[in-house]
Amino acid sequence: MPAAVRRGRIPPRRRLLESVLNVAYAGDWPARVWHRMAGTADISVARHRIARPHSTARPGRMAFISDLHIGPTTPVPLLERAFDIIRRAEPDVLLLGGDYVFLEATPARLEVLGRLVSSVSCTAKLAVLGNHDLWTDDRAIVRTLEGAGATVLVNQAVPLPEPWDDVVVVGLDDPWTGQCDAPAAFAGTNGEPVRVVLCHGPDGLRPAGPFAFDLFLCGHTHGGHVATPWGPVFMPEGTLCRQYPGGFARINDADVYVSRGIGGVEVPFRTFAPPDVLLIDL
């Protein structure tokens, strides 16, 4: 768990931008405008299967969701729709990929976060933090997630509960804003044959590269958020974001899934980058 609020890591230009947006987006009016637009509640559902050749245990299901960005540019009904999709899928494990808020972690936004995560009834909930979480009161976000039944992983590995304990989730700290320590995280594995890496952004692929894993899950890119049929127009900070803008990819012998996330940030709309959730069958 983070020992202290890491607010000081926010770049000065970013701090200035967020100060301006806090004033410009007062009252969360962009989210209300976005919610009135046709198709804004549409969420794509991706699916993936992980083989467990050494296990005779019953199958399981994991759900992965990232980049909620609860704040002035994300309609709460959109978030509720995403979690309704997850609840209907009846996952055994919920994986959360970070960036839970946009701008400040206010009590109202934390209440929404806690309510959404609590609404999913499952055996285990595991989470990592994103850059936006580390730019605000990350301790309050951690407390909220823990209160909703989630364990926040900061360079830690946790095996899933039985009967899926042949699967370990390796949670890396945010590779851009946090202190990503892949050797420490992978040191927590204990010979589990299936390894799933959970990290906020695709830049975590570099520190995770020397280690064996089966699936790398991340978000951060939003698929460009504002994209064209030929690709994203803008991408967030991160050297691997354009190489892995969204969806599935392969690296060495592992699968990679980069979620486009759910919520909005600076602009309250998306083009050619629909929100998504991922369902993983074990």
Question: Which pLDDT belongs to residue 57?
Answer: 78
Ranges in the chain, pLDDT < 70: 1-8
Question: Which pLDDT belongs to residue 3?
Answer: 45
Beta strands per DSSP E along the chain: 44-49, 61-65, 93-96, 124-127, 151-152, 156-159, 167-171, 194-198, 215-218, 227-228, 231-232, 247-251, 254-258, 276-281
- By CB atoms closer than 10 A (0-12, 13-18, 19+), residue 11 is exposed
Question: Which pLDDT belongs to residue 7?
Answer: 58
Name, in order, each residue with C-beta under 8 angstroms of 81's C-beta and a sequence gap of 6 or more: 41, 43
Question: Which pLDDT belongs to residue 6?
Answer: 62
Residues 19/55, Cβ–Cβ less than 8 Å: no
Question: Which pLDDT belongs to residue 52?
Answer: 85
Question: Which pLDDT belongs to residue 1?
Answer: 46
Question: Which pLDDT belongs to residue 5?
Answer: 56
Q: Supply 265's token pair.
A: 């940030």
| Distance separating the N- and C-terminal Cα atoms of the chain | 28
CATH 3.60.21.10 for domain 11-281: yes
